[in-house]
A and B are shown apart, each in its own frame.
Chain A
Amino acid sequence: MEPANRAFDGHTVAVPGGRMLEAPGRPALVRSAAVLLLKALNVAALLLLVLIFAMPFVWMLSTSLKTLPETMIFPPEWIPRNPVWSNYASAWQTGPFLHYITNSAVISVSILLLQMLTIIPAAYAFARYRFVGSGFLFSLVMVTLMIPTQLIFLPVYLELSAFKLLNTHLGLILPFASSAFGIFLLRQAFRQIPEELVEASRLDQAKEWKIIIRIMVPMVKPVLVTFALFSFIAHWNDYFWPLVMTTNETARTLPIGIAKIREVEGGGTWNILMAGNVILVAPILAAFFLAQKHIIKAFVYNGVK
């Protein structure tokens, strides 16, 4: 027996005397304790993060159910003693909320659909083909990512005004009919799909549009869902653009309606304002819960096997 040669396997340890011993218990114990401690620290850090992110939401929900004097109590109470559900009714009555919600829904969903229609073919072309000017066109798309809205809203305003599109749904939809971010995101996803899949479908006599719809798009579904969510949230929550592009109530959206609560109620009615905000974010939270699986997939496992 040559103990020196057998020590490498990790389970047995060479002892100077030449005898073999099972790995002693103590180092194993120390190691498992360290692992446990690390796990605990990890969980604690994650909990802290959750707390930081969740607190504003909880605060909003809690305030929306308080009476006005209760919102001012210090130290604050997290759970109101008698939840005032009528705050929601009060918020609802400050303006034509059903009208706002309809506008918001029509605009965000139309934007989303139009974007899908434009970014999927664009991203596919940029990912899979080299054509005259493809590099230049793609860098043009990338450049638009760097231009802030605040820089172009004036020319767009004048343009919409010239086309008589101010105060219309179309005026709030068309400027967002495509998305540079979406094209970029999707192009990267398309590029990761192995070429053989396209070749296999060519041999299967599939036409180009069929390859896109039946093979490519299903494979980038997580990315697509994530982008859809980003787009929907951005336009559902958008305050600046609808505010600037509208002068009357015809096409105004929910965020503007919520902001108006302050004017109507006179500034300090935090409970009513928060009730309005809960109405605003509820659909978004619902969407997140529904799409959670896909979002995690898109970020964690952005590969195709």
Chain B
Amino acid sequence: MAQIELIGICKKYKEETVIQDLNLTIRDGSFTVLVGPSGCGKSTTLRMVAGLERQSAGDILIDGQRVNDTPPGLRDVAMVFQNYALYPTMTVRGNIEFGLKNRGVSRKERERLISDISEIVGLGPYLDKKPQNLSGGQRQRVALARAMVKQPKVFILDEPLSNLDAKLRNQMRTELIQLHERLGTTFVYVTHDQVEAMSMGDEIVVMNEGAVQQADSPMKLYEQPANLFTAQFIGTPAMNIMKVGDIKGLRVLPESGAYHVGFRPEHAQINPDTPVEGLVLEGDILTRESLGAEHIYQIRSKAGAFFVKTFLKPLVTAERVRIAVPHGHLYYFSLTGSRMQTAGAANEETSSRQLIAGGV
């Protein structure tokens, strides 16, 4: 078990800066997910923690010890690769055993560890098979077993589920969460899939263009996005963003500096029965996606196209609808994209959101 600290990390490839002054603390025993679009530097960060890549500047601490000059094998870190990276010429047993042999673990001890591990991940009958004779899910398990058997301080997983089909992915997701609970080890997990991040992580680090956008728990990330990027990255469909100036009837204090207003598709009400205080739009329904329990509508209004999601409600068949979002569910962002937490004159009675909107 270990806490990981990244202090002032920079990474440059020749002239190109991939990561600029990254500061991050990964809590001991947490399931931390690094998430972001491809090229955001999340994999590079992970690889630097593992020691497969060297940072251009800054310090990496694992369990309070500086590991800048520690080779990967001695960092007490185990990694699961996206394509599993199993040794194809070795049997499953050989794959799991290789790291133990290199550490000089005795034969008897190795036997014991391997039988324990294969029990946990359910590989018992396959120990003497070669990886190419296994299914994708089984290979994934071998990769996990190979990492687990070393009993590392830190588990590093680089998009481990992206090569699996949807059904298996869901199953492995649950298994990984259970595994984390069982081992209590620090897990660092990289994915580009925000759904995976939200469902697995207890700590999510949203990255973009080599910088941390926000590091928080899933619910905080959803409810309190720090900026436009996280707001739009988390949630399916993404948060709807509009320019404040494009929306008629939304009164915003000019001095608040709010430039964008956003709301989540699931917070919008279609044709509300009672009048709603907040943002009101009229628009035409362009598309309807029905998933059974929920419906997703794409709606075009004068302020732009946006999505609305409803749960357990009948499908709206009308062409033209009125959409309302209460004040409490509106998010305001400045021109630079950072979220406005408080703005304008403080008033004990009203929330910050209403303050920006000028109260009602």
Contacts and interface: CB of A to CB of B under 8 A. Distances in A.
A219 B88 contact: yes
Interface stretch (A22-30, A51-59, A170-178, A202-210): A202-210
Contacts of B74: 205
A196 B102 contact: no
A203 B88 contact: no
A305 B71 CA distance: 27
Contacts of B237: none
B87 A199 contact: no
Contact of A202 (B73, B87, B132, B146): B73
* Interface bin, chain B: 20 to 34
Interface string B88-121: 1110000000110011000000000000000000
A275 B83 CA distance: 55
Contacts of B86: 200
A196 B79 CA distance: 10
Contacts, number: 65
B52 A199 contact: yes
A110 to B, nearest CB: 27
Nearest to B81: A196
Contacts of A206: 73, 98-99, 102
A202 B72 CA distance: 6
A199 B98 contact: no
Given A204-B73, A219-B88, A199 B81 contact: yes
Nearest to A193: B88
Interface string B298-319: 0000000000000000000000
Nearest to B131: A305
B79 A200 contact: yes
Given A215-B87, A218-B89, A202 B99 contact: no
Interface residues of A, number: 20
Contacts of A204: 73, 98-99, 102, 146, 150
Interface string A192-232: 00101101111111110010001100110100000000000
B72 A197 contact: no
A305 B131 CA distance: 10
Contacts of A219: 88-89
A67 to B, nearest CB: 53
B43 to A, nearest CB: 12
Q: Of residues A196, A202, A204, A215, which shows the largest number of chain B Cβ atoms within 10 Å of its Cβ?
A: A204
19 contacts: A194-B83, A196-B82, A199-B50, A199-B72, A199-B79, A200-B79, A200-B146, A201-B87, A202-B72, A203-B73, A203-B77, A204-B73, A204-B98, A204-B99, A204-B146, A205-B102, A205-B103, A214-B87, A305-B132
Interface of B: 50-52, 71-74, 77-79, 81-83, 85-90, 98-99, 102-103, 132, 146, 150
Given A196-B85, A203-B78, A219-B88, 19 more contacts: A194-B85, A196-B81, A196-B83, A197-B85, A199-B85, A200-B79, A200-B81, A201-B98, A202-B72, A203-B50, A203-B51, A203-B72, A203-B99, A204-B102, A205-B99, A210-B102, A214-B87, A219-B89, A305-B88
